[in-house]
Structure 1
Amino acid sequence: MEIIKPASEKAEHQASSSLVTSSSGQPTLNALSYVQTKVVPLRAEHLERNRIVAYNKNSNMGGAFDLLRTQILRTMEENGWRTLAITSPTPGAGKTVMAINLAMSIAHHTTKTALLVDFDLRRPKVGSCLGLTMETSLNEFLSGKAELQDVLVNPTLPRFVVLPTREPVPLSTEVLSSPVVSDLISDLRERYASRIVIFDLPPLLSSDDVITVLPQFDCVLLVVANGENSTKEIEECLHHLATANLIGTVLNKGEQQNRSYY
């Protein structure tokens, strides 16, 4: 399991939708009407191989994620925030594993529901980490070949819904800056007051995808890999995030510390 160390505290339902074309020729979203969500069972052995440990709320291996969840939810509730973007300086920091475990931990919170959206359109991994079958996904929704109700998945965990991306999306920066994505983010945020929407974004320094879409999220969590991300990379990320609500920084892949109750 990757060890998580919170380093700072700065600071379902179901769906259908249809695409229409605006007067400018750009695709937009009609009002969404939630009616059903596909249920796909998870396999414990697959989750464990991918370091997904928070699915079992009775396991003590998810304690670090529960601590991070409590800190994040407190800050988000204080500010009325509902959308959380998760990014990292570079690939390999473990942001996707972090996003999945955090979303599951939030779903275990009896007053909240969690929706996890795979917005790493260049290298989507949420669905494969969970072992989801993805005949339809965000790819089909963005291309107008499927409605939102067809691409949302409930992985048999109460109050947890996933919007996976099956394969890389061409021209990802342009897609993330499109009206259809803007409307999608807005609707997912506003649909349910008790929902926390987590967006797994690409690494911040790998492309301009994050900078393009970041202003649309309430807050952002930066995942830093211990021993892998340099001080210069972290400082560059903080520069790019200067105008965002940086809810915190997580040091991932740290050395495990043995703790007793006392």
Structure 2
Amino acid sequence: MERIKEAIAKAKEQQPDVVLPSPKTQDANGTPSGKSENGEISYRQTRVVNLDIKHLEENRIITLDSEDPNSISFDILRTQVLAKMEANQWRTLAITSPTPECGKTVVSINLALSIAKQTDYTALLVDFDLRRPRVGSYLGLPNENTLSDYIDGKIPFTDALVNPGIPRFVVLPNHAAIRKSTEILTSPKVKSLVTDLRDRYEKRICIFDLPPLQSTDDAIAFVPQVDCVLLVVASGETKPSDVKECRRQLQAHNLLGVILNKSDEKAAGYYY
């Protein structure tokens, strides 16, 4: 736990211009963050929420701790994903799985943190698993002012963005299941949101945590809006036939690869 606290403190020292929200420092146009004169990210309107380190450990969020032997798996994944995305000038990535409990949300969070912590990109993680949102609960974020409030028209999406105390990392969480999720994910409102999130900053990688492919049509309906996709499967749990079917469904959508999660092996690979 102390190593994670030290990692967060070190990251903040390296980017000291991240500030708490204040009415006096909000941009006139309501943008959630901006850049200082030295080019670093300065959070103005975006809420800054400090994370509970013990809660992160309990939910297997490990990439804040560079000394955790399993964190290197996500660093390898990050390097491979970014190399492919940079080569194609892609900036939006969807992460899904064949069935529930494969660990796609844990992979999404750890990958986003690895990108934000160790590259010059900012990482934006969006919880688009509208039927079973978990990103916010895994990170221990507040339940007020989230994606569902934006969808209902109660707040602008900038009010739902959260910086979890980690420089260059922003989350758009959700706290409640949303009805008619497929229709929502393909609506003009969400399409406009995805475009805005992607284009607001040139060096931003947007990661969308989607529902499992075989549980609903939400994921396959949404993936045309992103540049590429990762598929997370659970070692010893996911059936080969399910992987084959998902690969077939995603063959037209730039499938970057399949991540083997929940592996007990200690060799190099993707596991936590």
Q: 2:70 aligns with which of 56, 61, 67?
A: 61
Structure-2 residue corresponding to 1:175: 184
Letter of the 1:47 counterpart: L
SS in 1 for 2:70: helix
Contact 2:32 2:161 in 1 (8 A): no
SS in 1 for 2:194: helix
Structure-1 residue corresponding to 2:32: 34
Q: 1:103 aligns with which of 109, 112, 134?
A: 112
Structure-2 residue corresponding to 1:44: 53
Structure-2 residue corresponding to 1:136: 145
SS in 2 for 1:72: helix
Kindly indicate which of the two structures has a greater share of residues assigned to helix: 2
Letter of the 2:162 counterpart: V
Contact 2:234 2:261 in 1 (8 A): yes
Deviations 1:201-227 (A, max 9, x none): 000111110111110000000001111
Contact 1:47 1:129 in 2 (8 A): yes
Structure-2 residue corresponding to 1:74: 83
Give, in whole Å, the separation in 2 of the partners of 1:158 and 1:59: 20
Work out the number of aligned pairs and report it: 232
Give 1:248 shift: 1.1
TM-score between the two structures when normalised by the length of structure 1 = 0.85
Structure-2 residue corresponding to 1:3: none
Structural mapping, 1:149-228, within 5 Å: 149-228=158-237
233-242 vs 33-42, greater mean Cα deviation: 33-42
Give, in whole Å, the separation in 2 of the partners of 1:61 and 1:242: 30
SS in 1 for 2:100: coil
Deviations 1:115-137 (A, max 9, x none): 00000000000000001112110
Contact 2:63 2:114 in 1 (8 A): yes
Structure-1 residue corresponding to 2:135: 126
Give, in whole Å, the separation in 2 of the partners of 1:58 and 1:40: 24
Give 1:58 shift: 4.8
Give 1:60 shift: 3.7
Contact 1:46 1:131 in 2 (8 A): yes
2:250 matched to 1:241?
Answer: yes
Q: 1:258 to 1:207 in 2, by over 3 A?
A: closer
Give, in whole Å, the separation in 2 of the partners of 1:238 and 1:32: 41
Give, in whole Å, the separation in 1 of the partners of 2:241 and 2:30: 43
More RCO (CA 8 Å, sep 6+): 1
TM-score between the two structures when normalised by the length of structure 2 = 0.82
Give 1:189 shift: 1.0
Give 1:149 shift: 2.0
- Structure 2, unmatched stretches of 5+, are 1-17, 20-28, 34-44
Give, in whole Å, the separation in 2 of the partners of 1:160 and 1:60: 22
Letter of the 2:192 counterpart: D
Give, in whole Å, the separation in 2 of the partners of 1:32 and 1:215: 29
Q: 1:258 to 1:70 in 2, by over 3 A?
A: closer
Give, in whole Å, the separation in 2 of the partners of 1:110 and 1:88: 26
2:97 matched to 1:88?
Answer: yes
Structure-2 residue corresponding to 1:148: 157
Give, in whole Å, the separation in 2 of the partners of 1:247 and 1:42: 31
Q: 1:230 aligns with which of 239, 245, 250?
A: 239
Give, in whole Å, the separation in 2 of the partners of 1:118 and 1:207: 16
Give, in whole Å, the separation in 2 of the partners of 1:95 and 1:169: 19
